[in-house]
Chain A
């Protein structure tokens, strides 16, 4: 069956300003959320979707205030349940472009079940996870992504919780789209959000975000300008995995695991460097890429983007087929079906 698209096009050109709401943005000055909001606002005009057909859904947390700051329809729901609510929104009206925003606690602790099941079903909505590795709105407790051993208000002796890697969760749940960006690189955030919007099915964009009040500089080891080029790699589909200030480092598979190598050293040439294929169906390599840390640069950009019929498409196809072939055309038909008799 031919691929179906459900969200109508706007027919008018929007600008970022068209999506900016009149509400005062109440995040702390310097919070990474401001940059993510800005990236999101500049993504909407590029989707070409009608403004009225965009619906923001969020849970609870600092990041979940976002629907108030976007001039579209919006639902600021309850803690952890954004994916479940978004599922109902999209199923009730497939013509809506649905955007889910959650923090790390919201999406992976209290809402972990809804996240993995939305991803497993390939629900047709776009999820952005603001990952600051801390509970900010409740003032500084460790989250499911807090680094092992970190001291927080509820782990005064260091956490003994092993953290989640959102990318691993998404791929473990057979996700079809996963991308990562940094709050401090809004252009890249916009770019992956645009790709996410184009993807049919669940897209998950993880933005490493800084909470300067309760977990300041948690990502500094990779985001600081001085180290960023050497500590991160921006993956591009079909291109070799090259990184580093001098663009002379690359990723290769040594038969056992991924490793970072320097081109020209120890006989390494460009031929040894892996080419990124975001559309490989098997999650193996994508999982390894999403997991890179320590000696390996943290992967940014679109890590995985594979085609698979979305829940919306499968659902609407089944509805249409049933309507075309169904025995009953109206409820009266059903009420009078089977064994009935006249008194």
Chain B
């Protein structure tokens, strides 16, 4: 391929877009898997509509999947270098995600008058201006696929389903990747359908060869940098699966049965779907009749001695509020996973946001403190689920773990740990027949009470939502209520003694401190890194422990002249920090569009603040 112009790149963003049934999520996954296996770091982000199959060829029905590959990948990338658009609607709605000069592959066969009209085009979209701005490759994907289908005796519907393989073949050629990985996948997936394997392989190869024959493509072959990653065994994982596995690991390590009581809700459902597969590993999953029964069954399971969890998303967390107060009052360990989505109410079910923070911190009646932690990458959902379980079991309190749709559905490389190497978990179990057992006797250091399980001899006791005195019986005594309220708060405050100090990255001597929390770490890290590489001075601190905050938080905040808090909401974390550190002035950068941050917008914001 002497005539090839190989474009060497540190990273490359590919976006697959098509109709909901066009198999874009699969194409994206296969491309990211193949990239990971050939040594790239990866991050993916599916962008799909709430409707399962919106009307064919409409903008509402467009489903997308973005893959970011290269060395040191922190996020799924801002705009793409290559866009695949399988129909006019996906072309129209996704072109805004393509960089200027990007390669755009369209299935030209789908650009019929009817389909273009459905997508809202009044005239031919491929104007001279557009052809100038992008390299548009008009591939006859449908007709090529149909021809191969015909040759192999497949019906039109079956052949149509393989169109995504043709597009994938083109992408594989353009990114200098081999097809073996995907062949192996097809053989596994359709083991019982040799016809389907044959057809898919043929279409994939045809796409690859088609690309080889196009001169324009030969000037757009991308060689993406391999990742320099710590040694170890790796796999690809989504945030929701990582969350489920983190809980499984915590159950095994703590010796407590895992119980999950949940109700289906986007985008959290996959946590329950994943755990439902693992009865062999002892996962006791209960699909409840509603969100309230989900959390209540978990509270019952916790009383009976399980590592009890419930998974949900914003509206579901609202429904669980009263029961969370019960878990606070009974001081039982409980992990609540909230995969945040756009709100309020039903909001934007399939889009990401960080707007449940206030609800997690404050959304209960009475003084009802609990621990709040947040994951910051798809892969580290594993560790934060594990940590949430550890804190719940060791400090006898409910813990809310905040992830979000971006982390939950997105995927990343995950360095596989050994369960034995994870931090130990020591549940605070009472000793049977302990004559001194009292339901609310506390550890003098942590203030955590002991966990006496039904079935244990000599520890019969009652718990419930009514205020109790330390010995267990009900009490409406004013001083007792003050004491118990103080103790419940102090127990959560003291968790700060058991978590690591907050770290600052970037340039710690900068004037500007950037603050982020939860799922935005990828984009902020990259923005800060790029600015520092450009000679600007920016410090960055990212919070995973939200309540309580690490003990040195105030010391860090007070060091910087300028602080900007970036979050995908209207400023909830900024408000929370202000109540604790009113002496520190803070600016905000907020985005509420149901979308993750882009590196570009963050750099622009930080540069502006630096110049003020």
Residue ranges of A at the interface with B (Cβ–Cβ < 8 Å): 23, 51-53, 55-57, 60, 67-68, 71-78, 81, 83-93, 95-96, 113-114, 117, 315, 318-319, 322-323, 325-332, 334-336, 338-343
Contacts and interface: CB of A to CB of B under 8 A. Distances in A.
Contacts of A336: 233, 235, 416
Given A73-B461, A77-B464, A91-B297, 15 more contacts: A52-B454, A56-B462, A67-B462, A73-B460, A74-B463, A84-B293, A89-B300, A90-B304, A92-B302, A92-B306, A117-B293, A335-B249, A339-B37, A341-B233, A342-B232
19 contacts: A52-B456, A68-B473, A72-B460, A73-B455, A74-B463, A77-B326, A84-B261, A85-B297, A87-B296, A88-B304, A89-B303, A91-B297, A92-B284, A117-B288, A329-B280, A331-B249, A341-B36, A342-B232, A342-B234
Give 8 nearest A-B pairs by CB, closest first: A326-B280, A88-B300, A76-B464, A88-B297, A84-B296, A322-B279, A92-B301, A88-B301
Interface in B234-267: 234-236, 245, 248-249, 252, 257, 259, 261
Contacts of B297: 84-85, 87-88, 91
Nearest to B249: A331
A274 to B, nearest CB: 36
B474 interface: yes
Contacts of A56: 462
A55 B289 CA distance: 23
Contacts of A89: 300-301, 303-304, 454
B460 A77 contact: no
Contact of A57 (B33, B288, B300, B325): B300
A87 B300 contact: yes
Given A72-B460, A93-B305, A327-B280, A335 B300 contact: no
Given A87-B293, A89-B303, A339-B235, A23 B473 contact: yes
B233 A342 contact: yes
B473 A84 contact: no
Nearest to B306: A92
Contacts of A60: 465
B304 A92 contact: yes
Nearest to B34: A339
B258 to A, nearest CB: 10
B78 interface: no
B464 A75 contact: yes
A276 to B, nearest CB: 32
Nearest to B325: A78
A178 B313 CA distance: 37
B453 interface: yes
Contacts of A93: 304-306, 453-455
Nearest to A50: B455
Interface string B13-31: 0000000000000000000
Contacts of B33: 339
Max count, chain B CB within 10 A of own CB: residue among A57, A78, A95: A78
A87 B464 CA distance: 16
Nearest to A336: B416
A259 B235 CA distance: 71
A85 B300 CA distance: 4
A61 to B, nearest CB: 13
B296 A319 contact: no
Contacts of B454: 52-53, 55, 73, 89, 93, 96
Contacts of B289: 84, 113-114, 117
Given A330-B252, A340-B416, A342-B233, A74 B462 contact: yes
Interface in B298-343: 298-306, 308, 322-323, 325-326, 330
Given A341-B233, A343-B230, A343-B232, A91 B286 contact: yes
B296 A88 contact: yes
Main secondary structure of the interface of B (DSSP, over half): mixed
A332 B249 CA distance: 8
Nearest to A96: B454
A81 B322 CA distance: 11
B578 interface: no
Interface string B437-481: 000000000000000011111111111111000000110000000
Max count, chain B CB within 10 A of own CB: residue among A75, A114, A331, A341: A331
Given A76-B466, A96-B454, A86 B300 contact: yes
Max count, chain B CB within 10 A of own CB: residue among A55, A85, A338: A85
Interface of B: 33, 36-37, 39, 229-236, 245, 248-249, 252, 257, 259, 261, 278-282, 284, 286, 288-290, 292-293, 296-306, 308, 322-323, 325-326, 330, 416-419, 453-466, 473-474
A113 B288 CA distance: 11
A306 to B, nearest CB: 22
B233 A78 contact: no
A337 to B, nearest CB: 9
A327 B278 CA distance: 10
A87 B310 CA distance: 14
A55 B304 contact: yes
A91 B284 contact: yes
Contacts of A327: 280
B387 to A, nearest CB: 16
Contact of B259 (A78, A84, A92, A329): A92
Max count, chain B CB within 10 A of own CB: residue among A73, A83, A318, A342: A73
Contacts of B299: 77, 85, 88
Contacts of A319: 279, 282, 284
Given A84-B288, A84-B292, A342-B233, A325 B280 contact: yes
Given A88-B304, A114-B289, A331-B252, A322 B464 contact: no
Given A53-B455, A84-B300, A87-B293, A341 B37 contact: yes
B451 to A, nearest CB: 12
Given A57-B300, A331-B281, A88 B234 contact: no
Contacts of A78: 296, 322-323, 325-326, 465
A57 B462 CA distance: 10
A34 to B, nearest CB: 19
A334 B278 contact: yes
A298 to B, nearest CB: 30
A92 B300 contact: yes
Nearest to A69: B462
A77 B290 CA distance: 17
Contacts of B230: 343
Nearest to A322: B279
Given A77-B464, A117-B293, A343-B230, A88 B455 contact: no
B461 to A, nearest CB: 7
A331 B533 CA distance: 41
Contacts of B457: 52
Contacts of A51: 460
Contacts of B417: 335
A75 B464 CA distance: 5
Given A88-B298, A88-B300, A52 B416 contact: no
Given A332-B419, A342-B233, A92 B257 contact: yes
A75 to B, nearest CB: 6
A68 B235 CA distance: 52
A329 B281 CA distance: 7
A97 to B, nearest CB: 10
A42 B259 CA distance: 34
A115 B284 CA distance: 21
Contacts of B257: 92
Nearest to B464: A76
A88 B259 contact: yes
Nearest to B474: A68
Nearest to A53: B455
Nearest to A333: B281
B416 to A, nearest CB: 5
Contacts of A67: 462, 464
A114 B279 CA distance: 24
Nearest to A23: B473
B418 A332 contact: yes
A330 B304 contact: no
